[in-house]
């Protein structure tokens, strides 16, 4: 994928203005509460990552911002208008998760058709080049690998030269190499002043791309900040040991982010190991099997959401 894109014929959205916003939005599907009172503002030119595990409500929020679902309560606006306006859609591109795409059309034909929906699309050759589809443009969709399919969906999302891009888990199913290429392309779009909302369940992906991260858990926003701020809350150490202390007591020790116990075997997520270990040894000098490891990013992320959950906010 090349990292160049032509400028749109109209000026890019001035930075710092709110281009899309959700105001205390709730949505239930039957008995499942998909979103509860979620608010977010998407500023012009930023890349905002919605980070959360599967089922956290990321896709529901994206569908609402695209006008594909209406909130039970709360308000959504995109470019100051109702997201269901066709005019609004001229400036928006979307890469959604889709189970099946018409398989008998060729890659170039899919791009050609979607380009025709927009008043000022990119030239088709340009879209094919940006999305890395030149070599497979005559292939039918049904003949493509998973990664190639993702690239076609990416091509569809950018072919209209949109100002605002929604990417719903764009790198799912991609291998490491393809993921890096997709990241480079997304960064190139942001560098041109495009606004991007990306959903992911990988902390490292949000960290690599985003200006701002919102962590969504059980349909509610549980953390918000720059990648550095989010990481500061998540990156820490993992401490394992056996002890007679109660898990309730351990949770009161400063610096303990979360604690789980199985019989007398404990596993803690902590911000820094030394003060916690010192405190533990003071309280239980018989403590044994002590082990300190660096928490992986995903474990740390899990700790962040679990910790929030255990405090009963949800």
User: Which of 3, 4, 73, 117 forms a contact with other proteins (CB under 8 A)?
Assistant: 117
Q: Does 192 bind other proteins (CB under 8 A)?
A: no
Residue 186: strand, helix, or coil: helix
Structure token pair of residue 132: 């890395």
Tokens 């400063």 map to which residue? 254
262 close to 277: Cβ distance less than 8 angstroms: no
**Where does residue 149 rank: exposed (0-12), middle (13-18), buried (19+ CB within 10 A)?**
middle
Out of 96, 172, 290, 302, the only residue in the binding site for other proteins (CB under 8 A) is 96
Neighbouring CB atoms inside 10 A of 25's CB total: 25
Contact 212, 48 (CB under 8 A): yes
For residue 41, the minimal CB distance to other proteins (Å) is 7
202 binds other proteins (CB under 8 A): no
In the list 90, 147, 188, 271, the residue contacting other proteins (rule: CB under 8 A) is 90
Residue 241 within binding range of other proteins, rule CB under 8 A: no
Q: Taking the complex as a whole, how short is the minimal distance between the CB of residue 240 and other proteins, in angstroms?
A: 41
3-state secondary structure of 217: strand
The H or E element containing residue 223 is strand 220-225
In terms of CB distance, is 39 or 145 closer to other proteins?
Answer: 39
Cβ contact 101:141 at 8 Å:
yes
β-pairing, 47-51 vs 195-200, is parallel
Site for other proteins in 139-158 (CB under 8 A): 140, 153, 156
State which residue, 100 or 244, has the beta carbon closest to other proteins. 100
The one segment of 113-121, 222-230, 248-256, 281-289 that binds other proteins by CB under 8 A = 113-121
Can residue 6 be called a binding residue for other proteins (CB under 8 A)? no
Out of 35, 36, 49, 63, the residue judged to bind other proteins by CB under 8 A: 63
CB 127 → other proteins: shortest distance, Å? Answer: 13
293 binds other proteins (CB under 8 A): no
Among residues 114, 170, 113, 124, the alpha carbon closest in space to that of 147 is found at 170
What distances in angstroms separate CA 29 from CA 22, 71, 138, one per listed residue? 18, 11, 40
In the list 6, 113, 125, 191, the residue contacting other proteins (rule: CB under 8 A) is 113
Position among 7, 119, 145, 311 found at the interface with other proteins (CB under 8 A): 119
- Distance from C-alpha of 56 to C-alpha of 78, rounded to nearest angstrom: 22
Residue numbers at the binding site for other proteins (CB under 8 A) = 9-11, 13-14, 16-19, 21, 29, 41, 43-44, 63, 66-70, 77, 79-81, 86-87, 89-94, 96-102, 104-105, 109, 112-114, 116-120, 140, 153, 156, 160, 163, 166
């Amino acid at each position: 994928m090349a990292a160049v894109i032509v400028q749109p014929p109209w000026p890019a959205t001035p930075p710092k203005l709110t281009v899309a916003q959700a105001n205390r939005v709730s949505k239930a599907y039957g008995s499942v509460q998909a979103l509860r009172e979620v608010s977010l503002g998407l500023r012009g030119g930023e890349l905002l990552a919605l980070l959360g595990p599967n089922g956290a409500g990321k896709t529901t929020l994206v569908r609402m911002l695209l006008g594909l679902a209406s909130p039970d309560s709360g308000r959504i606006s995109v470019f100051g208008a109702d997201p269901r306006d066709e005019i609004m859609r001229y400036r928006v591109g979307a890469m959604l998760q889709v189970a099946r795409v018409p398989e008998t059309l060729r890659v170039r034909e899919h791009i050609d058709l979607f380009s025709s929906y927009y008043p000022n699309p990119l030239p088709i050759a340009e879209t094919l080049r940006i999305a890395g589809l030149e070599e497979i443009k005559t292939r039918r969709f049904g003949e493509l690998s998973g990664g190639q399919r993702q690239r076609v969906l990416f091509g569809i999302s950018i072919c209209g030269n949109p100002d605002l891009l929604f990417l719903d888990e764009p790198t799912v199913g991609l291998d490491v190499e393809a993921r890096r290429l997709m990241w480079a392309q997304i960064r190139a779009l942001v560098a041109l002043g495009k606004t991007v909302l990306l959903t992911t369940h990988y902390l490292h992906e949000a960290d690599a791309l985003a200006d701002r991260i919102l962590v969504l858990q059980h349909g509610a926003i549980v953390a918000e900040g720059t990648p550095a701020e989010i990481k500061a809350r998540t990156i820490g150490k993992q401490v394992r040991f056996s002890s007679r202390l109660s898990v309730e007591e351990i949770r009161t020790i400063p610096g303990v982010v979360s604690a789980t116990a199985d019989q007398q075997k404990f596993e803690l997520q902590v911000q820094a190991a030394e003060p916690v270990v010192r405190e533990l040894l003071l309280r239980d000098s018989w403590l044994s099997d002590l082990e300190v490891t660096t928490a992986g990013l995903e474990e740390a992320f899990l700790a962040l959401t679990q910790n929030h959950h255990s405090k009963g906010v949800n």
